[in-house]
């Protein structure tokens, strides 16, 4: 079974340009997460989706970041305009959702490494 797929794997842009990242979760996973991982740091949650609904976006800088998950499957994270400080790895993860809320393991994609010049 395929894991979480992210593209592109690497992206280099100039500041003030827009950029978008795409994530395809594991089939059947209702919950999708976007994390930001700065160099030398652990991942930090940006946004969490339950199906197509963003249920936790408190850490998403909404002035320049946006995300969508149309039809509750694939998701896109966008930055417009990008700043130098946005250089980081953007990780997508997915897990089974709904039903029993005990715990659902998060499976991570390889990430997109963004460099803003």
Partner 1 sequence: AQSVTQPDIHITVSEGASLELRCNYSYGATPYLFWYVQSPGQGLQLLLKYFSGDTLVQGIKGFEAEFKRSQSSFNLRKPSVHWSDAAEYFCAVGAKGGSEKLVFGKGTKLTVNP
Q: Which of 51, 66, 87, 104 binds partner 1 (CB under 8 A)?
A: 104
- DSSP annotation of 84 reads G
Q: Could you say whether residue 69 binds partner 1 (CB under 8 A)?
A: no
**Which of residues 1, 27, 42, 70 is near partner 1 by CB under 8 A?**
42
Under the criterion CB under 8 A, does residue 12 sit at the interface with partner 1? no
Residues contacting 18, CB < 8 A, separation 6+: 78, 79, 80, 81, 82
| Dihedrals phi, psi of 39, to nearest 5 degrees | -60, 125
- The verdict on 17 binding partner 1 (CB under 8 A) reads no
Binding test (CB under 8 A) with partner 1, winner from 56, 61, 68, 80: 56
**CB 9: neighbour CB atoms within 10 A?**
10
Footprint of partner 1 (CB under 8 A): 3-4, 9, 31, 40-45, 48, 55-56, 91, 93, 95, 101-106, 108-111
């Amino acid at each position: 079974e395929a894991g979480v797929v992210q593209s592109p794997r690497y992206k280099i842009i100039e500041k003030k340009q827009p950029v978008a990242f795409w994530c395809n979760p594991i089939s059947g996973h209702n919950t999708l997460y976007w994390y930001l991982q700065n160099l030398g740091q652990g991942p930090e949650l940006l946004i969490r989706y339950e199906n197509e609904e963003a249920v936790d976006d408190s850490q998403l800088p909404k002035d320049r970041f946006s995300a969508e998950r149309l039809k509750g499957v694939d998701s896109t994270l966008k930055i417009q305009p990008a700043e130098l400080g946005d250089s980081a790895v953007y990780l997508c993860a997915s897990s089974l959702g709904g039903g029993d809320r005990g715990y659902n393991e998060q499976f991570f994609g390889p990430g997109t490494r963004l460099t803003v010049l």
